[in-house]
Amino acid sequence: MSGRNFADKLLNLIHNLPHFDFRFNRLRHDTPFDIDPNGEYMQSLVVFCAFGLALALLFLLATVIVWVAQCCFAHRSNGPQRNSRKRIDRLSLALFIVSILCFSLMGACLFGNEIFNKSVQSSLDGLGHLNDGLRRAAIQTQKLNHSQWQLSEHVDELTILIERKSRAHKNINQTQIREADALLTELSDKIDELKQQLTRTSIILFDTHFLDNTKRNAERIEFERWLLCLILQLIMCAVLFAGVIAFCRQSRKGAIIFSGLGLVIFLVSWLLFSAVFPLTVSHADFCSDGRTFLRSRLNDELLDLTNFYSECAPDEGLPPSIPLTLLSQLAKDQAGAEQRLGTLLARMFEKEKEIEKKENDKAFDSILQLTQSEIISSSKHLGALHFALQCGQLHKDVFTLRVGMCRYAFLGSVLISAGLFLLGLTLFVLLLLVAKSWYMFSRLPNDYLEVGEEDQFSPRIHDTMPDNIYDTNLFNPRARQHLSGGVDGGNNSDRMPTQNGGQQQPLLLGERQSWQQQMMTHNAAIASAPPATIGTSGGTLRGTLTRNGGLRVHSANYQQMNGASGGGAVYGRFQEYGDA
């Protein structure tokens, strides 16, 4: 009951929204629901649509202004706090939270879409069952009308037979003839009146073309609407999911791509809202004051019939808009008149001769049997008509039609409209936040890396870096001085300073220590010598230092390199070549 009251209050609230035409004149409150393209009501729906589009343009303009400002003033602040890790993490968290909120609103829209679809489908099923029930009742009406036509023909045959017998036999009681004629006239009048009521009932029951067309078109339109809304929402969810991945990875490229795609889904959400919100308003207007519109498409009796089925109790009885009680009374009067007529005809010819009596009885009995058969058939069809139109047969279908369309489907429509409106606002906030990530997520010139306590390059361990790390400072003049013995003549090439100012043990000990010292001394000498042309006794020797510290030599007759005699040892990583 509370859900019904809430739906009714919400329905009245949206129905009472002010409606304006193109001249911004407010429409009267009693302006009926109508689908005339040139009517004032359709103009008010267009104004509601324009209101949604105006909001979309306003937020789009604000987004563009913020983006332009972000591009223009992004490099004004280059301090250390601009792209600090805490700020980046807070921005990523904010983007993630807003994205989750967007996902929730999209889920609400999808849920409302499903509610609306299921409710409309149940309403269309109820409408289909109502059409089937009315069609069955119309078929019984046709059968009953056909029986009345057959009964009318039999009454005419009896009238002709009685007139012929009355002229042939002058001794027949004229009073009985007048009584028979009166009974035949009464029976014929009852038949004519019953046929008139059946014709009226047939007009009521067969006027369901609008309901049939509505069901057929509504099924197609609802399927297309549901599919379109579902596809658009899924596309928006996919784009937003890609944006969440980019936010979690703190990717500048992903943030920029999402900015473009996010702007697209932002516009799609507002366009959907601009289309759904006027439909929600028209939905509320139809459910609150759609009787005038329905009266222009349906007859008043059929509309009263559907209202009766929606409000009646299952055991209440028959609808008053169809004269079923009168039909039953007329059928009962027909049966009584037929019985009295048969009794009277039996008395009229009891004084005739035996042969004539048998012939007359045979004729009258045959016609009376046919008349009784049609009256019984009419009673059966009338009973089937009563059963097809009683409240218990169609109450559930009409109640489902009305509740599904004007309660649950309306709540689904409101949920879609509210979800799209809040989604548009949330996407607007998301686009403003994502603009800040364009430069905060950018790769810095020197990336900050967390180093471990064991790293020898960490300044937390070594206050003074070693002079020679993997021969990287081999050709540094200060390193050569250090390797050649330093200022005091001592050779410190086998020592490395430590953090506390002491000396570290040499890397190579024992027999290979002298080899290391010779290699360092020789390398320092080679490095200090200019790359000049080396003279030889047999030709010219040109040497070039290679990338890895060696010497590439080109000579036709190599004898001497760097003062060493032919066949002398080459130290370090220098390489000797004969012919190039």
Average pLDDT over residues 537-558: 47
pLDDT of residue 179: 82
Strand partners, 503: 497
CB 524 within 8 A of CB 491: no
pLDDT of residue 495: 47
Instruction: Give which of 289, 277, 290 is closest to 16, Cα–Cα.
Output: 289
Average pLDDT over residues 513-536: 51
How does pLDDT run across 324-353, given as a tens digit for each residue? 888 888 888 888 887 887 777 777 766 554
pLDDT of residue 563: 42
> What is the distance between the alpha carbons of residues 407 and 5, in angstroms, rounded to a whole number?
10
Between 56 and 84, the more confident residue is 56
How does pLDDT run across 171-198, given as a tens digit for each residue? 777 777 788 888 888 888 888 888 888 8
Strand partners, 542: 554
> What is the distance between the alpha carbons of residues 26 and 106, in angstroms, rounded to a whole number?
34
How does pLDDT run across 385-437, given as a tens digit for each residue? 888 888 888 888 999 999 999 999 999 999 999 999 999 999 999 988 888 77
H/E segment holding residue 320: none
H/E segment holding residue 497: strand 496-497
Residues listed for the chain: 580
CA distances from 546 to 515, 549, 550, 563, 574 (A): 22, 5, 5, 20, 9
Average pLDDT over residues 536-546: 47
Instruction: Give which of 338, 428, 344, 361 is closest to 154, Cα–Cα.
Output: 338
Average pLDDT over residues 282-288: 91
pLDDT category of residue 296 using cuts at 50, 70 and 90: confident
Residue 271 has pLDDT above 50, yes or no: yes
Instruction: Please state, for a pLDDT cut of 90, what percent of the chain lies above it.
Output: 21
- Category of 501 on φ-ψ map: left (φ > 0), alpha (ψ -120 to 50) or beta: left
pLDDT category of residue 74 using cuts at 50, 70 and 90: low
Highest mean pLDDT among 40-49, 463-472, 500-509: 40-49
pLDDT of residue 465: 54
> What is the distance between the alpha carbons of residues 112 and 408, in angstroms, rounded to a whole number?
10
Residue 355 has pLDDT above 70, yes or no: no
pLDDT category of residue 71 using cuts at 50, 70 and 90: confident
pLDDT category of residue 492 using cuts at 50, 70 and 90: very low
Between 148 and 562, the more confident residue is 148
Between 362 and 260, the more confident residue is 260
How does pLDDT run across 306-325, given as a tens digit for each residue? 888 888 887 777 888 888 88
> What is the distance between the alpha carbons of residues 48 and 276, in angstroms, rounded to a whole number?
10
Average pLDDT over residues 498-517: 49
pLDDT category of residue 25 using cuts at 50, 70 and 90: confident
Q: What is the 3-state secondary structure (H, E, C) of 245-296?
A: HHHHHCCHHHHHHHHHHHHHHHHHHHHHHHHHHHHHHHHHHHHHHCHHHHHC
**Mean pLDDT score across all residues of the chain:** 76
How does pLDDT run across 76-134, given as a tens digit for each residue? 554 444 556 777 778 888 888 998 999 999 999 999 999 999 999 999 999 999 999 88
For 74-103, b where at least 16 C-beta lie within 10 A, e where not — what string? beeeeeeeeeeeeeeeebbebbeebbebbb
Average pLDDT over residues 241-262: 79
To 10 degrees, what angle do helices 300-311 and 85-168 make? 120
Which token pair is 62?
């604000």
Highest mean pLDDT among 223-227, 490-494, 521-525: 223-227
Vertex 142, ends 138 and 145: CA angle to 5°?
A: 135
Residue 272 has pLDDT above 60, yes or no: yes
pLDDT of residue 247: 73
Out of 190-204, 283-297, 564-578, least confident range: 564-578
Q: Are strands 540-545 and 496-497 parallel, antiparallel or unpaired?
A: unpaired
Average pLDDT over residues 435-458: 58
